[in-house]
Amino acid sequence: MRRGLSVLLSLVVGVAVVAVPSAAAAVTWGPCVDGPARMVCATVRVPVDWSRPRGETVGIAVAKLPATGRRIGSLVVNPGGPGGSGVDMAANAEARFSAELTAGFDIVGFDPRGQGRSHTYVCDVDLVDRQIDLLVPASAADFAALLDANRALGRNCEELTGRLARHMDTASVARDVDAIRAALGERTISYYGVSYGTMIGQQYAELFPHRLRALALDSSMDHSLGIRDYQVWETRAQEGAFLRFAAWCERTADCALHDEDVVALYDGLVERAAAGELVFFPGTEAERVPTPTDLAGLLFSSMYDPADWFTLARSLRQLDEEGVLLPAVRGRGEPVPYGYQPVMCQDFRFDLRSYAELARLERDLWRLAPHAGPSALAWSDLTGCQRWPGPVVNPPHRLVASPSLPPILMTNSRYDVATPYQWARHLAAQLPSATLLTYDGVGHGNYRLSSCARAAVDAYLLTLRLPRQGKHCPAIYPTASLAAAGSVRPLTR
């Protein structure tokens, strides 16, 4: 999941840098290092600490792909993460979005503070690996070691990153978005965010409701959650998605486990992992004995897109027979981007009192999901933030929805392991002007997964026309022909 960290390649920019803009300010755009010829790039400077607007600043990398037709306005986009590059998203807009959207909008992407080209948040890779190895503590001693590892990693990241390290929260990112809006010279913007990108959009809507023309939220996070609800709904989503994978295998001849009882086979792998009988990455530096949560991570990463299910079935068969999985290779002692961690730890209150509390929660989650077990992502969010240095500067809360907000479109998969459907329902209740469109399948990122959802998002952004409240889009499951075509997975939120 996060073990495959790699240094992000630079895409931009050798162009004009602008101070924090006034409402009338405008950016002088220049050529990008890479991307379509018509794309232009710039850097907008914003305060590191928005409570001290005249203090130290950080540069936010911004890219704009101008509209090819009759222009409606600017569509600001973010692909998720935390850590996804909006600059890359703008560069690839013609592949990611419909021709109608790229004709009607300037597609504007930005790398959020601390991510990509916007003063990357970095940490020592050895300390990152040390933390990852401890994210599933099995004893009070393991838990104490995790706390030490988290503190050491957090301090190292601050040393390598500077003052920005304690100002990575999503509310600050939302304020950066409004600085970008002002620098674009726009009175209002339209916004499309997927995954973590929805939380940026939500907080922008809360802080700047009068600046939104349209807000499309695809696969939504819910910033109001406490520890238990966060874990429970992610875990239930993972169990539900796994059972649909098992049912698909049973009816799909090309599934490598078509003639197997998939649930029983996986339950057997969990038992073998708990007994220490499996090995991941044999013969490499990363060789390890996986835990049941490691297996849950394998499931999780394959539930973003059912097109990956053919590979998952082959992996489970191979793991059952041989126990072979190969890791990514990278150098030791290098600074690597790790911008996911500080955002989650500054946006949510995840601290637990003791290992006993963590162990009780783990037992409860296994009862809720007796096959797939606790969500690997939610669990690493929880354990990775234990005693993380610095305050929760953007604490979780229910959104305060202004009456001036425009009608909002939300869409979510019924079985989304990264942003569960229950989160979307709970968020929709906080946004009275929202319409929730449900995709009845498995996966993360509906615009990419469902032509039905894509058409609804396009119609809304282009015309502000919403689907009827309660509309569902049918599930799509993979066939051999679809698998041969391959798939592109969005970034983990």
114-137: per-residue pLDDT in tens? 999 999 999 999 999 999 999 999
**How much is the pLDDT for 26?**
63
The whole-angstrom separation of Cα 23 and Cα 188 is 11
Residue 330's region, left for phi above 0, alpha for psi from -120 to 50, else beta, is beta
Q: Which residues of 420-449 are buried (b: 16+ CB within 10 A; e: fewer)?
A: bbbbbbbbbebbebbbbbbbebbbbbbbbb
**How much is the pLDDT for 458?**
98
Same domain as 84, residue 216: yes
Q: Which residues pair with 424 in a beta bridge?
A: none
Same domain as 266, residue 332: yes
| Nearest to 392, CA basis, from 355, 347, 426 | 347
* Count of C-beta atoms within a 10 Å radius of residue 269: 20
The whole-angstrom separation of Cα 234 and Cα 137 is 19
**Residue 144 domain flag:** yes
Please give the DSSP secondary-structure letter assigned to residue 209. G
**Residue 486 domain flag:** no
Same domain as 260, residue 191: no
Q: Which residues of 171-202 are buried (b: 16+ CB within 10 A; e: fewer)?
A: bbbbbbbbbbbbbbebeebbbbbbbbbbbbbb
Chain centroid offset of residue 388 CA: 20
The whole-angstrom separation of Cα 250 and Cα 76 is 42
Domain range for 431: 17-119+169-223+399-476
**How much is the pLDDT for 288?**
81
**Residue 6 domain flag:** no
Same domain as 134, residue 68: no
Chain centroid offset of residue 304 CA: 11
Strand intervals (E) in 134-270: 189-195, 212-220
Same domain as 66, residue 153: no
Residues 454-488: tens digit of each pLDDT = 999 999 999 999 999 999 999 999 987 554 444 44
Same domain as 175, residue 244: no
Residues 327-339: tens digit of each pLDDT = 544 445 678 999 9
**Residue 277 domain flag:** yes
Q: Which residues pair with 64 in a beta bridge?
A: 40, 108
Strand intervals (E) in 205-342: 212-220, 335-337
Q: Domain of 462: which CATH number?
A: 3.40.50.1820
Q: Please count the structural domains in the chain.
A: 2
Q: Which residues pair with 76 in a beta bridge?
A: 108, 191
Query: Which tokens hold the place of 388?
Result: 């993380």
Angle between helices 292-301 and 376-384 (to 10 degrees): 120
For tokens 């939220």, what's the residue? Answer: 217
Query: Which tokens hold the place of 111?
Result: 């790398």
The whole-angstrom separation of Cα 256 and Cα 311 is 9
In this prediction, the residues of the chain whose per-residue pLDDT falls under 50 are 1-24, 328-331, 483-492
The whole-angstrom separation of Cα 349 and Cα 131 is 19
**For residue 420, what are the CA distances in angstroms to 218, 240, 475, 476?**
12, 10, 16, 18
**How much is the pLDDT for 489?**
45
Same domain as 214, residue 150: no
Cα torsion angle, 473, 478, 483, 484, sign: negative
Same domain as 428, residue 299: no
**Residue 99 domain flag:** yes
Question: Among 340, 365, 396, where does a domain finish?
Answer: 396
Question: Among 396, 427, 460, where does a domain finish?
Answer: 396
**How much is the pLDDT for 89?**
98
The amino acid at residue 279 is V
Direct distance between the N- and C-terminal alpha carbons of the chain, in angstroms, rounded to an integer: 11
Residue 86's region, left for phi above 0, alpha for psi from -120 to 50, else beta, is alpha
For tokens 């992000």, what's the residue? Answer: 8
**Residue 7 domain flag:** no
Residues 198-256: tens digit of each pLDDT = 999 999 999 999 999 999 999 999 999 999 999 999 999 999 999 999 999 999 999 99
Same domain as 185, residue 59: yes
The whole-angstrom separation of Cα 361 and Cα 226 is 13
Same domain as 391, residue 378: yes
For the entire predicted model, the pTM comes to 0.91
Same domain as 111, residue 75: yes
The whole-angstrom separation of Cα 17 and Cα 61 is 9
What three-state secondary structure class fits 441? strand
Helices (H), 162-225: 170-184, 196-207
Chain centroid offset of residue 241 CA: 18
- Residues 11, 25 contacting (CB under 8 angstroms): no
**Residue 408 domain flag:** yes
Cα torsion angle, 218, 349, 429, 399, sign: negative
Same domain as 426, residue 354: no
The amino acid at residue 141 is A
The whole-angstrom separation of Cα 167 and Cα 47 is 10
Write the CB contacts of 112 (distance below 8 Å, at least 6 apart in sequence).
60, 78, 81, 82, 86, 118, 173, 176, 200, 339
Question: Among 396, 412, 428, where does a domain finish?
Answer: 396
**Residue 181 domain flag:** yes
